[in-house]
Amino acid sequence: MFDLFHNLGLGFGVVFQVSWWSPWWLYGLSLPVSINILMCLIGALVGTLVGVLPGIGTVATVAMLLPITFGLPPVGALIMLAGIYYGAQYGGSTTSILVNIPGEATSVVTAIDGHAMAKQGRAGPALAIAAIGSFFAGCVATVLIAVLGAPLTKLALAFGPAEYFSLMVLGLIFAVVLAKGSVLKAIAMIVFGLLLSMVGSDIETGASRMAFNIPELADGLGFATVAMGVFGFAEIIRNLDAGAEMNRDLVQQKITGLMPTRKDLIDSAPAILRGTILGSILGILPGGGAVIASFASYTLEKKIAKNPSRFGRGAIEGVAAPESANNAAAQTSFIPLLTLGIPPNAVMALMVGAMTIHGIVPGPQVMQKQPELVWGMIASMWIGNLMLIIINLPLVGIWVRLLRVPYRLMFPSIVIFCAIGIYSVNNAPVDVILAGVFGLVGYWLIKHDFEPAPLLLGMVLGPLMEENLRRALLISRGDWSVFLTRPLSAGLLAIAAFLLVLTLLPMLRAKRDEVFTESEN
Amino acid sequence: MADTMGHSATATRNTSVALGFFVLAIAPQIFELIWSIGTIFGWAAGRGPLQIVAAHAAALVVGGPAALVGGDTKKASSDVLLALIYSYPLFVVAVLTIFMTIRSAQDYVGGIVLMALALFALWASSDLQGMRGFSFGAGTAPRMFGGLLVALGAAIALTGLLTDGPAMPHYSWRGPLLVMASIVFFALAIRPLGVVVTAFASFLIAAMGTHETRWIETIIVGACLTAGCALLFPYVLGLPMPMFPRFLVQ
């Protein structure tokens, strides 16, 4: 317990670290500036902006902003990227409620009841509850990361290559179970991702694999490049299909009375609590994340409600639960990354990229060797959440006005930003073309109903999986049974197999489909 | 009447799908051929177009069958291996497609294309070393995952044959083409022409991706965005990037 406070204290110390800034125009006077607080604020604001704007997702933004963080100290860079991630969860809810356009996939379900509330003139309370729920969930998740961090790190140190491999298999299976649509297609996407990760030179032998003597491929496909293509460009191309003019029924009347009534608070408190718990659990699980958390918690609320027919007509629980769940999940998904070094979703995979750029290898060692980095980031999340709740509500008007920017002007801007972003990662024009090609690939995948998220997860885990598989087999002298004879590894694989069987059972499959179709009707 | 019409409609579509697979089966060869045109102008090194046509034709028509009959694939050249590993299986699929009733073209085509990608990866990793005793060679993992993806692609295609589902999706060409053109232009022009010219021109090309573009506002927004980028990236963020065209600076 003492450790916990000590660690959090260290973290807050890092965040509030003050440096003196003396610009020439102050003639020798110095101003105290906390760079990390500033980074946190920028990250949260950019995240909210991204969350508000439909057509550009969190993954593409984080990929786009990676080069911006090159010049920053590692702590500041990670704080900013984390801010973008949870900031987007806030921003997405704002537009869902006000204009019925979910800016992010995570707030799709919020739109159902949130927009219904807005139509009844209760947009204020809906926004307030979403913010309060998110803040509460953010606080709980921050504490959870702090509490679970140290013990999980100890556990991770007991992991050998066999356990690591099994854990990643489990993560990928989770990604399959939680992916939308066909299980077979999700598995195929993962394997496709694994295959893409093999391009480039082999870690052990140094042999060039599937690189066709193209020098730019010798180092492998950049993860940011593929992510930008599949999530950024592909999304734009697909949106253009439907025509640039999207139908936007803005809520025109003025938002009056932000404060929720006493009844609203009493109604939503248990929903927030349930959403937070469910979101935290789903966030920790590899392959999970914020999207599935919001869907699942909405379904749960509807199931346990006394009068389910209220849902879809402005039930405040339908806003409170998914909003708390997605924020909780967004934050707890840092746990596997910080403790085990395994990214549970695409955004976390980009965080791995950001860490490696700064010379940090994610994994259990980070927490011991660079505690100020990890705890600084954790502390910044709490501060970021506080900032968001303060900033966001007054800024609602500005966000809504931003939505009036027509897509025909927005999409070329996004294309240019993405292109400059990718170019500046390696100063390589080929990367830009590769991202474009993956944009077309992503468009094709969307058209044939393949989910791109498992592909990215497979691509990130590919090298780690291969390395651990090879190492495990080398240690066991080629004996494949090592994965089953080591108890931890066997346990993890058993869970994975169990999950896969569960998903394939027809009865549960129907349930799973129901969760995903919830948003569509 | 309706039945026969429906039948003939699927039959014609099946042939076009099969034709598509046939083209896909020789797509790498065609791509290499197009790429090699550059050698005529001295842009790229390697085999010339005529050599490529001759080599691939020989591999497809003579080399492949010879290797199959002789069972001697160890010494086969890379062209022959491409024919054996990638093209022949897809030819078979293309021929089979003509006789199939496709119930969900979206799944069927999706599965087959994934299978083609996996076969291509198998070919690309065929020159790598496999297992050495009990330790993995460089080629083991790519082959493992490649094989798995072939199986999965086939399974997805099979579901497209056995269960009803969506038909072939409709692709539009304007958006993808112009966004892609804008990206390619950006990549080619950023070094010689610098941020200012490149960003503005790419913006305009991308804006053509939709017919709803109004030119005056697009040019104004594009100019503002270019100015913003020119300030933000090189100055504020300190990323090394040429600003103006090379010939103007010198």
Which of B139, B162, B185 finishes a domain?
B162
pLDDT higher than 60, residue A449: yes
The boundaries of the domain holding residue B200 are 174-249
Give the model's confidence band at B7: pLDDT under 50 very low, under 70 low, under 90 confident, else very high. very low
pLDDT higher than 50, residue A21: yes
pLDDT higher than 70, residue A30: no
Residues B182 and B154 in one domain: no
- Secondary structure in 3-state letters for A60-108: HHHHHHHHHHHHCCHHHHHHHHHHHHHHHHHHHHHHHHHHCCCCCHHHH
Contact B241 A424 (CB under 8 A): yes
Of A117, A131, A147, A108, the C-alpha closest to A297 is A108
Which residues from B are below 8 Å from A236, CB to CB?
Answer: 175, 179
Of A459, A453, A469, the C-alpha closest to A198 is A459
Residues B122 and B206 in one domain: no
B50 to chain A, minimum CA–CA distance in Å? 21
Query: Which contacts of A23-30 are long-range, i.e. CB under 8 A and separated by 24 or more positions?
Result: none
Q: Which residue has the higher pLDDT, A266 or B117?
A: B117
Q: Which residue has the higher pLDDT, A160 or B6?
A: A160
Give the model's confidence band at B153: pLDDT under 50 very low, under 70 low, under 90 confident, else very high. very high
Of A451, A243, A508, the C-alpha closest to B172 is A243
Contact A469 B142 (CB under 8 A): no
Lowest mean pLDDT among A158-162, A178-182, A323-327: A178-182
C-alpha to C-alpha distance for A98 and A206, rounded to whole angstroms = 54
Contact B124 A212 (CB under 8 A): yes
Q: B240 in helix, strand or coil?
A: coil
Q: For A365-382, what is the mean pLDDT?
A: 82
pLDDT of A296 = 81
Whether residue B168 is contained in a domain is answered as no
Q: For A441-459, what is the mean pLDDT?
A: 86
Which residues from A are below 8 Å from B158, CB to CB?
Answer: none
Which residues from B are below 8 Å from A433, CB to CB?
Answer: 183-184, 187
A7 to chain B, minimum CA–CA distance in Å? 32
Q: Locate tokens 């990367």: which residue?
A: A431
Highest mean pLDDT among A17-31, A307-321, A425-439, B232-246: A425-439
Of B209, B29, B37, B19, the C-alpha closest to A436 is B209
Of A188, A237, A243, the CB nearest to B153: A188
Q: B135 in helix, strand or coil?
A: strand
Q: For A274-296, what is the mean pLDDT?
A: 80
With a pLDDT cut of 90, the percent of chain A lying above it is 4
Lowest mean pLDDT among A12-26, A369-383, A407-421, B209-223: A12-26
Give the model's confidence band at A152: pLDDT under 50 very low, under 70 low, under 90 confident, else very high. confident
Contact A195 B107 (CB under 8 A): no
The domain limits of chain A are 2-517
Give the model's confidence band at A509: pLDDT under 50 very low, under 70 low, under 90 confident, else very high. low
pLDDT higher than 90, residue B151: yes
Give the model's confidence band at A361: pLDDT under 50 very low, under 70 low, under 90 confident, else very high. confident
B99 to chain A, minimum CA–CA distance in Å? 22
pLDDT higher than 80, residue B109: yes
pLDDT higher than 50, residue B105: yes
pLDDT of A288 = 61
pLDDT higher than 60, residue B11: no
Which residues from A are below 8 Å from B213, CB to CB?
Answer: 408
pLDDT higher than 70, residue B71: no
A208 to chain B, minimum CA–CA distance in Å? 8
Of A487, A351, A488, the C-alpha closest to A66 is A351
Contact A416 B186 (CB under 8 A): yes
pLDDT of B6 = 44
Interface test with B, best of A65, A72, A246, A409 (most B CBs within 10 A): A409
Q: What is the pLDDT of residues A321-355, one digit of tens each?
A: 888 988 888 888 888 888 877 887 778 888 887 88
Contact B107 A412 (CB under 8 A): no
Average of per-residue pLDDT values in chain B: 81
Residues B146 and B200 in one domain: no
B175 to chain A, minimum CA–CA distance in Å? 6
C-alpha to C-alpha distance for A329 and A513, rounded to whole angstroms = 21
Which of B162, B197, B223 finishes a domain?
B162
Whether residue B245 is contained in a domain is answered as yes
pLDDT higher than 50, residue A519: no
A109 to chain B, minimum CA–CA distance in Å? 25
pLDDT higher than 60, residue B8: no
pLDDT higher than 90, residue B115: yes
pLDDT of B60 = 82
Whether residue B158 is contained in a domain is answered as yes
Which residues from B are below 8 Å from A470, CB to CB?
Answer: 135-136, 141
Contact A469 B136 (CB under 8 A): yes
Residues B51 and B115 in one domain: yes
Lowest mean pLDDT among A138-147, B109-118, B140-149: A138-147
Search chain A and give the residue with CA nearest B152: A188
Q: Locate tokens 């959403």: which residue?
A: A275
Which residues from A are below 8 Å from B214, CB to CB?
Answer: 408
Whether residue B167 is contained in a domain is answered as no
Search chain B and give the residue with CA nearest A469: B136
Residue A247 phi, psi (nearest 5): -80, 115
C-alpha to C-alpha distance for A379 and A36, rounded to whole angstroms = 11
Residues B148 and B67 in one domain: yes
Residues B121 and B38 in one domain: yes
Q: For A133-161, what is the mean pLDDT?
A: 83
Q: Which residue has the higher pLDDT, A25 or A328?
A: A328
Residue A68, both tokens: 């911006």
Search chain A and give the residue with CA nearest B205: A412
C-alpha to C-alpha distance for A197 and A185, rounded to whole angstroms = 18
pLDDT of A433 = 92
Whether residue B169 is contained in a domain is answered as no
Q: For A446-454, what is the mean pLDDT?
A: 85
Give the model's confidence band at A441: pLDDT under 50 very low, under 70 low, under 90 confident, else very high. very high
Of B155, B166, B191, the CB nearest to A429: B191
pLDDT of A184 = 86
Cβ atoms within 10 Å of A62's Cβ, excluding its own? 32
pLDDT higher than 60, residue A250: no
Give the model's confidence band at B2: pLDDT under 50 very low, under 70 low, under 90 confident, else very high. very low
- Cβ(A187)–Cβ(B152) under 8 Å? yes
pLDDT of B149 = 94
ipTM score for this prediction: 0.88
Contact A188 B152 (CB under 8 A): yes
Of B145, B176, B184, the CB nearest to A194: B145
Distances (CA, A) of A77 to A308, A352, A373, A491, A501: 44, 12, 10, 37, 41
- Cβ(B37)–Cβ(B60) under 8 Å? no
What's this model's pTM, rounded to 2 decimal places? Answer: 0.83
Q: For B197-203, what is the mean pLDDT?
A: 90
Contact A436 B187 (CB under 8 A): yes
Interface test with B, best of A64, A239, A414, A423 (most B CBs within 10 A): A423
Residues B211 and B141 in one domain: no
Q: How far is CA A417 from the centre of its chain?
A: 21
Contact B202 A202 (CB under 8 A): no
Search chain A and give the residue with CA nearest B216: A409
Which of B131, B162, B193 finishes a domain?
B162
Q: Which helix (H) or strand (E) element contains residue A200? A: strand A200-201
Residues B35 and B149 in one domain: yes
Q: For B183-205, what is the mean pLDDT?
A: 89
Contact A195 B142 (CB under 8 A): yes
B151 to chain A, minimum CA–CA distance in Å? 9
pLDDT of B3 = 41
Give the model's confidence band at B152: pLDDT under 50 very low, under 70 low, under 90 confident, else very high. very high
Give the model's confidence band at A26: pLDDT under 50 very low, under 70 low, under 90 confident, else very high. low
pLDDT of B181 = 93
With a pLDDT cut of 70, the percent of chain B lying above it is 88
- Cβ(B156)–Cβ(A189) under 8 Å? no
pLDDT higher than 80, residue A516: no
Which residues from A are below 8 Å from B175, CB to CB?
Answer: 236-237, 240-241
Q: What is the pLDDT of residues B209-223, one digit of tens each?
A: 877 778 888 888 899
pLDDT of B73 = 62
Residues B66 and B112 in one domain: yes
Number of separate domains in chain B: 2
Search chain B and give the residue with CA nearest A68: B237
Q: Which amino acid is at A224?
A: A
pLDDT of B116 = 93
Q: Which residue has the higher pLDDT, A244 or A81?
A: A81
Give the model's confidence band at A146: pLDDT under 50 very low, under 70 low, under 90 confident, else very high. confident
Give the model's confidence band at A521: pLDDT under 50 very low, under 70 low, under 90 confident, else very high. very low
Of B145, B148, B154, the C-alpha closest to B110 is B154
C-alpha to C-alpha distance for A3 and A147, rounded to whole angstroms = 9
pLDDT of A339 = 81
Of A194, A204, A448, the CB nearest to B106: A448
Give the model's confidence band at B154: pLDDT under 50 very low, under 70 low, under 90 confident, else very high. very high
Sign of CA dihedral A167, A211, A422, B241: positive
Search chain A and give the residue with CA nearest B219: A409
How many CB contacts within 8 angstroms connect chain A with chain B?
200
Residues B52 and B90 in one domain: yes
Residues B91 and B116 in one domain: yes
